[in-house]
Chains A and B, each alone.
Chain A
Amino acid sequence: DVKVTQSSRYLVKRTGEKVFLECVQDMDHENMFWYRQDPGLGLRLIYFSYDVKMKEKGDIPEGYSVSREKKERFSLILESASTNQTSMYLCASSPGTGGSYNSPLHFGNGTRLTVT
């Protein structure tokens, strides 16, 4: 089974701090994604990556950046955390062009971030 591991389940940070959310997958997937989920809203795509050192903006990239130095690891960075970034963050992975665009996403358990 694919395992997607997010480094923290719960995180509390102060406004203005730089925050790193880490995600590791163990199935050699090319694609990795960061979503956030807020009450009453679906999963909204922040950033995604199709390969090492590649990144693409999703629908809500403002205030975030990402890093993918190794295939298995995709980091989400909040450069200067703000209270409106309090949310549930979900990492996901899927096979890339070598696999199939039909393949569903495999999700981590999520990180609930609170910015005070």
Chain B
Amino acid sequence: ILNVEQSPQSLHVQEGDSTNFTCSFPSSNFYALHWYRWETAKSPEALFVMTLNGDEKKKGRISATLNTKEGYSYLYIKGSQPEDSATYLCAFNTNAGKSTFGDGTTLTVKP
């Protein structure tokens, strides 16, 4: 079983704070890394697909970076808003098309 770790497990911030979390994964057999956002009572939705070392992706106030050589990815949220409250999952893909998920980081943004 592949080991994908996310930290921290949970995070509480004030509205307007910027925050970041980490996903660590095996540095061998890398094919892709996916970030998902999972809001309460909804299904997980993909945020980013990252494939190349040094990749940087951005969607509004959320961005992500990738380092495949050392096996980590960072997700950044600038100026957190209450609607950003969710669990953020990363998933490591091998070329077999199978995703192995981390345990997630649960973000709570207080107004």
Q: Which residues of A contact B (CB under 8 A)?
A: 4, 31, 33, 35, 40-45, 48, 50, 58-59, 90, 94, 96-97, 101-110
CA distance A14 to B1 in the complex (A): 31
Residue of B nearest to A30 (CB): B97
Given A42-B104, A102-B32, also A50-B97 (CB < 8 A): yes
A38 → chain B closest CB, angstroms: 10
Residue B26 interfacial (CB < 8 Å): no
Contact with A along B16-34 (1 / 0, CB 8 A): 0000000000000001101
Beta-carbon contact of A90 and B32 below 8 Å:
no
Given A43-B89, A94-B97, A110-B43, also A104-B49 (CB < 8 A): yes
Residue B59 interfacial (CB < 8 Å): no
Beta-carbon contact of B103 and A103 below 8 Å:
no
Q: State how many residues of chain B have any CB contact under 8 Å with chain A.
A: 28
Beta-carbon contact of A104 and B46 below 8 Å:
yes
Beta-carbon contact of A102 and B93 below 8 Å:
yes
- Residues in A neighbouring B44, C-beta threshold 8 A: 43, 90, 105, 107
**Given A101-B97, A105-B34, A107-B45, 20 further pairs, Cβ under 8 A:** A33-B99, A42-B101, A42-B102, A43-B89, A43-B101, A44-B101, A45-B98, A59-B1, A101-B95, A102-B31, A102-B32, A102-B51, A102-B93, A104-B46, A104-B49, A105-B36, A105-B46, A105-B91, A105-B99, A106-B46
Residue B4 interfacial (CB < 8 Å): yes
| Secondary structure call for the A interface | loop
- Residues in A neighbouring B6, C-beta threshold 8 A: 42
CA distance A109 to B41 in the complex (A): 8
- Residues in A neighbouring B102, C-beta threshold 8 A: 42
Sort A-B residue pairs by CB-CB distance and give the 3 closest, nearest first. Answer: A104-B46, A107-B43, A42-B103
B30 → chain A closest CB, angstroms: 12
Contact with A along B58-96 (1 / 0, CB 8 A): 000000000000000000000000000000010101011
